[in-house]
Amino acid sequence: MEIGAALIGTGFMGKAHALAYRNVRAVMGDLPGVRLVTLVDTPEAKAEAMAAQFGFEAATADWRAVLTDPRVQLVSITTPNGLHREMAEACLAAGKHVWCEKPMALTLEDARSMVEAARARGLVTQLGYNYTANPAFIHACRLVAGGEIGRVVQVRGWVDEDYQADPDLPWSRRAKVQDAGLGALGDIGCHLISLLTGLAGPLDSVVGEMETIHKTRPLPDGSGRAEVENEDCASALLTFASGVKGTFTASRSAWGRKSRLGFEVHGTEGMVIYDQERMNELQLYQNRGDRAKAGFVTILTSPEHAPYGAFCPAPGHQLGFNDLKVIEAAGLLRAIRDGGRAPLDFTAGLEIEKAIHAIALSAREGRRVRLGEVWAPNPQPCAAFRKASYSSSLTGTTCSGAG
């Protein structure tokens, strides 16, 4: 079996998708081959140059050309957020499976429409929440679900970067709601929600706050300053459906932080700690044995933490960001082949969208917001981490849809 793929967009994430398509079968083995059919970007000269670099057969500046191409069964969308809904729905209507980067869309209504479009056609979708594909994170979920730290009593999470910390950084589409939607919540906070809900289950309600630190930015042409319309940082008190409490913080203006995405899960018998800047490690504390020897244990990822072994037979040699995209691609291709659900599809992604928009609504209205208020007719959340993680999907298990 061979799957023809098209790629729309050639930035950081577009390149990550191209590398994943090229490497996934070599790493994982028993997967469909991927034929790199068409690359889309503008202007056309850029598309042609990047197609040659990435190894695609053809190039075009017209993304709609892939809709009628019978050679294309799967489309990667790595464009700005405001284009996701139109492109995804057009591809689904044309009978193409879709791998779309996060966040899903600018609004909850857009995200809901994308879910309905995928359900109507019965096609496979996946969102680019690659941090949930990390063998270290998958192992953390197993430890928590297996009771290795006892009953979970609190979850704390943070995601900090400094790409908008400089007040003199020019105004861009990131600052405009019409183009970017939410700010720190939509860009990086959604990643944190994907991890926290993977560990502790679905959210019930939130109490949120938001702040725009740099309220204006200089226009690129030097003609003045423009308003920043979305948030630079956000925080929230979380209540999960299980009753577990948690905290959430996200900032795109945290000097010195590059990819500080992490969490602590506190249990009655121990704790698990993770930090994306040390993405091949977990810290585990278990309140057992001789107290004189008690302390945190560092767990380095190894072949015992599937699918690490598909990349490297030696413990502690470490995976990287693009390896996580390969794992993500493997789950997607297996779902297409077997007629199942990808580990984090549009339906599961809608639950993440509901969470970040609930935090924003709470911050605006100054009250606790239940996720059911933002939209919840039959959400069918995907238990991608607790019941059918990336590692289990690689052995044929698909997401059951059970919460």
CATH number at residue 302: 3.30.360.10
Handedness of CA 360, 343, 113, 229 (dihedral sign): positive
Q: What is the pLDDT of residue 375?
A: 65
Residue 371 lies in a domain: no
Residue 142 lies in a domain: yes
**Looking at the 3D structure of the chain, how many domains does it have?**
1
Q: What is the pLDDT of residue 377?
A: 42
Shortest CA distance to 78 belongs to which of 68, 69, 70, 87? 87
Cβ count near 255 (within 10 Å)? 10
Domain that holds residue 273: 132-327
Shortest CA distance to 238 belongs to which of 208, 210, 263? 208
**Residue 262's beta-bridge partner residues?**
158, 275
Cβ count near 316 (within 10 Å)? 11
Asked if 59 and 50 touch (Cβ cutoff 8 Å), the reply is yes
Residue 23 lies in a domain: no
Rounded to two decimals, what is the model's pTM?
A: 0.92
List the pLDDT tens digit at each of the 403 positions of the chain: 899 999 999 999 999 999 999 999 999 999 999 999 999 999 999 999 999 999 999 999 999 999 999 999 999 999 999 999 999 999 999 999 999 999 999 999 999 999 999 999 999 999 999 999 999 999 999 999 999 999 999 999 999 999 999 999 999 988 999 889 999 999 999 999 999 999 999 999 999 999 999 999 999 999 999 999 999 999 999 999 999 999 999 999 999 999 999 999 999 999 999 999 999 999 999 999 899 988 999 999 999 999 999 999 999 999 999 999 999 999 999 999 999 999 999 999 999 999 999 999 999 999 999 999 986 443 333 333 333 334 433 333 222 222 2
Q: What is the pLDDT of residue 103?
A: 94
Asked if 75 and 125 touch (Cβ cutoff 8 Å), the reply is no
Residue 276 lies in a domain: yes
